[in-house]
Structure 1
């Protein structure tokens, strides 16, 4: 469930990187392939939505092992870092009718658990260009 109250406490015009942690169902809940297959359908729909709001997919990768900290409950399958130019852009996408109708069903079918953590930059070697830079 989207934590709108928590996101509304953030500066709506501040840039944000969303850390996505995902654990997939073995089989998609709609019976159409694996949880990973459903996630790929979700990504095909959401990446254009992210880009339309000035965001960009920074990095994705397979989660391999917990290196430090409790292992229980931290057996994630996949990780993604997604930059949005503003918190408001993320909220706009996540609350849009198109997201709810076209994307979220694939996410629900594919993910047994999906946690998104809003982060703000303290340090980065990455230069994320905004639409103003383009």
Structure 2
């Protein structure tokens, strides 16, 4: 469920990078392949939605091991960093009818757990603004 209260505390006009942490189902909830297969379907739909709002994927990769901190509860399968030019652009996508009907069902079929953390830039080697 989208945390609108938390997002409302952010500057809606500031750029944001969303840290996505995902744990996949072994089998897709709709019976069509694995959770990973469903995630690929989700990505195929959401990437154009992200780009249409001026955003982009910065990085994706397999989560291999917890290097520091508690291992329990942190066994993620995949991580992604997604840039949006504004918090409003992220909210617009996530609350759109197209996301609800075309993308989110694939996400639900793919993920046993999916956490998205809104981040603000403290340092970057790359210029985001």
Task: Provide the TM-score with structure 1 as the length reference.
Answer: 0.95
Partners of 2:6 and 2:39 in 1: CA distance? 25
Could you list the runs of 5+ residues in structure 1 that have no partner in the other structure?
none
SS at match of 2:76: coil
User: 1:34 corresponds to which residue?
Assistant: 34
Partners of 1:16 and 1:99 in 2: CA distance? 19
Q: Tell me, yes or no, if structure 1 residue 96 matches structure 2 residue 96.
A: yes
The total of aligned residue pairs comes to 129
User: 2:115 corresponds to which residue?
Assistant: 115
Shift of 1:58: 0.0
User: 1:105 corresponds to which residue?
Assistant: 105
Cα deviation digits, residues 32-74 of structure 1 (max 9, x gap):
0000000000000000000000000000000000000000000
SS at match of 2:32: coil
Could you list the runs of 5+ residues in structure 2 that have no partner in the other structure?
none
User: 1:68 corresponds to which residue?
Assistant: 68
List, as ranges, runs of 4+ consecutive aligned residues in structure 1 with deviation greater than 4 Å: none
SS at match of 1:69: coil
Partners of 1:124 and 1:12 in 2: CA distance? 20
Computed over aligned residues only, the root mean square deviation of the Cα atoms, in angstroms, reads: 0.7
Partners of 2:8 and 2:49 in 1: CA distance? 21
SS at match of 2:38: helix
Shift of 1:9: 1.1
SS at match of 1:18: strand
User: 2:4 corresponds to which residue?
Assistant: 4
Task: Provide the TM-score with structure 2 as the length reference.
Answer: 0.98
Shift of 1:104: 0.1
